[in-house]
Amino acid sequence: MASTGVGFRNTRVVLIESSAVLRVALREYLGHYARETTEVVGEASGGWKALREVAFKRPDIVLVDLHLPDRMALDCARRIHLFIPKASIILAVWEPSGELIETLKEQGICTIVDKSRLVTSLLGAIWKCSQGRC
């Protein structure tokens, strides 16, 4: 991350989540609990809009909902990895299995979080990725 006059700049995050309610909750949660270190710079509800957001906003971390309505989550994650290789991708899935985790990590996913605990586990996942511990 680039430094500012005072210290490090905020980790820039794009939220790609199908649920508008959950996107708002995540943005508010990060704004409240991580405003000193994390900035939500973009949001999207589907793959094509997500790719535009990522291309223009150049985030450090991208949260991707595996079950996007346009079924583009994995393709979107792969394209993001190609556009911005240094960006960490966090994939939100329902009931992640060990086999799924290993397969997805081979495709450029930094870490996987259980969507049923997304709000409570997102900060830890962002911290892990921002520290380069994927």
Tens digit of pLDDT for each residue in 31-68?
998 888 899 999 999 888 999 999 999 999 999 988 88
The three-class DSSP label of residue 57 is: helix
* Domain 11-130, CATH number (from 3.40.605.10, 4.10.640.10, 3.40.50.2300, 1.10.580.10): 3.40.50.2300
Question: CA 86, 114, 75, 82: dihedral to nearest 10 degrees?
Answer: 0
pLDDT, residue 71, reads: 82
The domains of the chain are located at 11-130
Reported pTM: 0.84
Tokens of 4: 């500012």
Tens digit of pLDDT for each residue in 67-76?
888 888 888 8
